[in-house]
Amino acid sequence: MARFQIKVNGKWKEVKLGHLSLLVMSGGIEHRVMKYIGGKFRKRYNITFRTPVKREEDIIKNYRFFSNFGRYYRRTCVLYVPKKCFADDIGDSNLGDLIYDRNRNVCVRERGGKEYKMISDGSYYEKVLKGHSRFNDRLIVRLNLPVDRKELMEKIRKKYGENIKSPPVSTTSVSLLLMLED
């Protein structure tokens, strides 16, 4: 009843999973579970085994492992967003901590009460903001640092080795800086 899909040759292909079925796949397979259609919906159990790699092998994969753990197993408390998440021009100032109000789609400065309207254009940024705020009533929003990602990756490669791949698109500049400090 849940529609499970895997990506094959760049196209999504549905995999029929009957009642009491078991699917084992490698972590490199791009997959998704679509919303069920009509009728009853049976519970689906997902067991995922992840292994962190040695830092010397690939710090990006190691970071992704711990990021996924946080994404799936605990609530987000702080979300770093780029300036383009705000509907109005916020200038170059560091806003500090803002509290996101999902119902009104605004971020409110904790002290002073000034409000900053968030984008509502159906973009990935809006979906992430609203998605994370569903699980936490006091989601803190901070402005991502305006640092050149290419420059940061060069420093990371210099520190950990040239075999380091590019970070996931969703990796913030703040997290890349944390990798450098570690």
pLDDT in tens, 26-64: 767 888 887 767 666 666 777 776 665 555 556 666 666
Please tell me the predicted confidence (pLDDT) of residue 12: 92
pLDDT in tens, 56-68: 556 666 666 656 6
Backbone phi, psi, residue 62, to 5°? -60, -45
Please tell me the predicted confidence (pLDDT) of residue 56: 54
pLDDT string in tens for the chain (182-residue length): 567 889 999 899 988 877 778 888 876 788 888 776 766 666 677 777 666 555 555 666 666 665 665 566 667 788 888 888 888 888 766 678 889 988 888 888 877 778 889 999 988 888 888 888 887 778 888 888 878 888 888 888 888 887 777 776 667 788 788 777 76
Q: Are 143 and 168 in contact (CB under 8 A)?
A: no
What is d(CA 155, CA 106) in angstroms, rounded to the nearest whole number? 36
* Continuous segment of H or E residues that includes residue 108: strand 106-109
Please tell me the predicted confidence (pLDDT) of residue 68: 60
Per domain, the residue ranges of the chain are 1-49, 59-75+146-181, 83-143
- Single out the residue of 87, 178, 97 nearest to residue 142, CA to CA: 97
Q: What angle do CA 142, 144, 148 make, to 5 degrees?
A: 170
Q: Are 41 and 47 in contact (CB under 8 A)?
A: no
- Cα torsion 117, 121, 124, 126 to 10°: value is 30
Burial class (CB in 10 A: 0-12, 13-18, 19+), 173: middle
